[in-house]
A = this chain, B = another copy of it.
């Protein structure tokens, strides 16, 4: 269905909660409460976010998690990459040598272009944007097309 995993979705939710807390350190527990998620789940995705450097962790009593950067400096693309690895729409296009048909495949290059465009789209939305309520719908300007073909 061309989707990100549910974990990734949850990760954005948790990140917004963390962003709202500013520089406060929140434990996995209160994070779970505020995000309305299970603790083990939150815990799991937090680990990945820490690993990616988007979140800082503190151990011991009164430990917890704190956002690693300003919400305006974190893009949705980074969260997606942290959770799912590199963005690539097709198996083949991410690394060469995997697909037998690579040589006679006319579409590989074009998929790579599409990948890039989508990655850029994701990269252009910041965590701060995700915190705001969705604004009034504005039509997508068509210069995007120019970028792809």
Chain A: residues with Cβ within 8 Å of the partner, total of: 66
**Contact A1-B124, Cβ < 8 Å, known A90-B9, A149-B129:** no
Question: By the criterion CB–CB under 8 Å, are B36 and A104 in contact?
Answer: yes
Please provide the chain A residues from 82 to 134 with a CB less than 8 Å away from any CB of chain B in the complex.
Answer: 84-92, 94, 100-101, 104-107, 109-114, 116-118, 120-122, 124-126, 129-134
Instruction: For A130, give its contact among B80, B106, B134 (CB under 8 Å).
Output: B106
Instruction: For A1, give its contact among B88, B92, B110 (CB under 8 Å).
Output: B88
Residues of chain A touching chain B, judged by Cβ–Cβ distance below 8 Å, are 1-4, 6, 8-9, 12-13, 16, 35-37, 76, 80, 84-92, 94, 100-101, 104-107, 109-114, 116-118, 120-122, 124-126, 129-135, 137-149
